[in-house]
């Protein structure tokens, strides 16, 4: 019977059937049939897949943990290196900051020649306040040269060797500096002490001292140049029975955290000791 | 490390601990070397520290022979006496040289805090130095 039907009719029926199935599938009418047909296949596929994954993980996961551990160790090492580098850079930045301030200070005073030096040590004796700097006679430093920072006076060179010098700080008990009070216009002497405090002495009783008065080097005695900032008056002690009044001075320099200093190279201290008359007992 | 104006003197502690080791023969030499090295950076006159260390070593050798045979107690006594001797010699040298140092402040702010700090460090330093001495000069019976 089929052979009797025209060929084009068979083709048309086939297209209609296929098209109908497609339309039914697309419109969702065949879903229950497709689902019931695919469910067993999906279950089989799920079972095979889960077994395959279990076997795969059994062989590969330990290897992954080892490699992850290696990665973690390597990252931790890298992290530590970066932290160390960061600390080094922060320190370099701090040093650069201090040096930049010193350079700025030196540029503002072209009349002086400066040699920059780093503080590399402190005197081991608790009675003395000295620091060691990394520049010496090879760099033109000599005994007695004044040492400053951008804030103010630090002290003077007490001993020199080729590559290093020892600096006596203002706070040393044996240090004395002739100073002048900026507001009062009077002279005095600043001495160090065991505790590192600065004391202003030899100020006449009739001079009006005020808290906050700026204290500068006077240049008297020839040990230091004039007009270097030393500190500010913080406490005044005046007694009627004393010849002179005294005061505590707050230094402008932070001696506890002294890192870098400038040595004034073109100032030669004057030794006036031969001019001082000897006192006979 | 500092306390008030006093500080711990590790060089002194090492010298004291080294002088307490029976088998060590060259303590005097090390006292001189330590004195030279410290004098090199210190503002004190050159012979002061060498002389002080030698006096301390002499005192300890004298004490260890005549008084005690308990080294750990000797370390404590040596630390106290050594610190006081060293700082008193420094103080006297500076005062004779013209540095105004009030004795009360020197005692309360420098000498006593330094003694305390040195005492704190004396036992660890003694242990280290004793181990070092045993390693360098092993007991003949053990060897």
pLDDT at B143: 47
Judged by average pLDDT, the poorest of A254-263, B2-11, B65-74 is B65-74
Q: Which residues pair with A233 in a beta bridge?
A: A249
Picking from A244, A246, A248, the residue whose alpha carbon sits closest to that of residue A235 is: A248
Distance, in angstroms, between A135 CA and closest chain B CA? 14
Distance, in angstroms, between B68 CA and closest chain A CA? 30
Mutate to test the interface with A, among B41, B86, B101, B117 (most CBs of A within 10 A): B41
The alpha carbons of chain A give a radius of gyration, in whole angstroms, of 44
Q: Quick: pLDDT tens for B120-131.
A: 999 999 999 888
Reported ipTM: 0.83
CA distances in angstroms from A140 to A114, A148, A150, A193, listed in the order given: 10, 16, 21, 30
Q: Quick check: pTM over 0.80?
A: no
Q: Residue ranges of the domains in chain A?
A: 13-108, 115-267
* CA separation for the pair A246, A190 (Å, rounded): 10
* CA separation for the pair A41, A194 (Å, rounded): 95
The answer to whether A159 faces chain B, any CB pair under 8 Å, is yes
CATH value of A115-267 in 1.20.1250.20, 3.40.640.10, 2.40.10.340, 2.40.50.140:
2.40.10.340
Q: How much of chain B, in percent, has pLDDT values that exceed 90?
A: 28
The answer to whether A2 faces chain B, any CB pair under 8 Å, is no
Q: Is A50 left (phi over 0), alpha (psi -120 to 50) or beta?
A: alpha
Please count the other Cβ atoms lying within 10 Å of the Cβ belonging to residue B8. 22
With beta carbons less than 8 A apart as the criterion, state whether B92 and B107 touch.
no
Higher-pLDDT residue of B17, A95: B17
What's the average pLDDT block by block, 10 residues per block, for chain A (281 residues)?
68 89 83 84 89 81 76 92 92 82 77 86 89 89 89 90 90 90 86 89 84 88 86 87 87 86 85 70 48
Pairing of strands A229-237, B2-3: unpaired
Higher-pLDDT residue of A60, B58: B58
pLDDT at A1: 47
Find where tokens 């140049």 sit. Answer: A225
Please count the other Cβ atoms lying within 10 Å of the Cβ belonging to residue A115. 19
Mutate to test the interface with A, among B6, B35, B42 (most CBs of A within 10 A): B42
Q: How much of chain B, in percent, has pLDDT values that exceed 70?
A: 95
Q: Quick: pLDDT tens for B30-44.
A: 889 989 988 888 888
pLDDT at B141: 59
pLDDT at B3: 76
Residues of chain A found within 8 Å of residue B114, distances taken between Cβ atoms: 126
Distance, in angstroms, between B137 CA and closest chain A CA? 31
């Amino acid at each position: 019977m089929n052979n009797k039907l025209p060929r084009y009719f068979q083709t048309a029926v086939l297209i209609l059937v296929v098209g109908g199935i497609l339309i039914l599938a697309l419109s969702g009418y065949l879903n229950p049939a497709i689902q019931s047909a695919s469910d067993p296949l999906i279950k089989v596929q799920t079972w095979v897949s889960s077994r395959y994954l279990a076997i795969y993980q059994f062989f590969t996961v330990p290897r992954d943990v080892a490699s992850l551990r290696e990665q973690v160790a390597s990252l931790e090492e890298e992290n530590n290196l970066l932290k160390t580098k960061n600390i080094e850079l922060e320190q370099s930045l701090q040093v650069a900051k201090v040096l930049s301030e010193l350079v700025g200070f030196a540029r503002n005073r072209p009349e002086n020649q400066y040699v920059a030096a780093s503080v590399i040590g402190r005197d081991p004796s608790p009675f003395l306040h000295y620091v060691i700097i990394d520049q010496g006679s090879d760099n033109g430093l000599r005994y007695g040269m004044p040492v400053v920072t951008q804030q103010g006076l630090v002290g003077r060179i007490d001993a020199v060797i080729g590559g290093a010098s020892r600096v006596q700080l203002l706070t040393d008990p044996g240090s004395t500096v002739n100073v002048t009070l900026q507001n009062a216009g009077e002279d005095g002497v600043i001495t160090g002490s065991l505790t590192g405090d600065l004391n202003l002495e030899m100020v006449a009783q009739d001079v009006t001292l005020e808290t906050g008065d700026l204290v500068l080097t006077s240049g008297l005695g020839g040990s230091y140049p004039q007009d270097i900032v030393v500190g500010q008056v913080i406490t005044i002690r005046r007694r009627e029975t004393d010849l002179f009044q005294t005061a505590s001075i707050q230094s402008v320099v932070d001696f506890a955290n002294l890192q870098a200093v400038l040595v004034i190279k073109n100032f030669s201290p004057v030794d006036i000791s031969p001019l001082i008359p000897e006192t006979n007992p | 490390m500092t306390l008030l104006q006093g500080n711990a003197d590790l060089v002194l502690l090492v010298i004291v601990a080294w002088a307490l080791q029976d088998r060590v023969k060259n303590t005097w030499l090390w006292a001189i070397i330590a004195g030279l090295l410290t004098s090199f950076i210190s503002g004190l006159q050159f012979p002061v520290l060498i002389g002080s260390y030698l006096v301390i070593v002499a005192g300890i050798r004298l004490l260890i022979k005549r008084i005690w045979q308990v080294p750990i107690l000797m370390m404590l006594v040596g630390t106290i006496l050594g610190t006081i001797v060293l700082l008193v010699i420094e103080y006297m040298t500076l005062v004779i040289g013209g540095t105004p140092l009030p004795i009360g402040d020197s005692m309360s702010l420098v000498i006593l805090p330094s003694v305390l700090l040195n005492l704190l460090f004396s036992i660890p330093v003694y242990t280290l130095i004793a181990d070092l001495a045993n390693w360098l000069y092993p007991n003949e019976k053990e060897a």
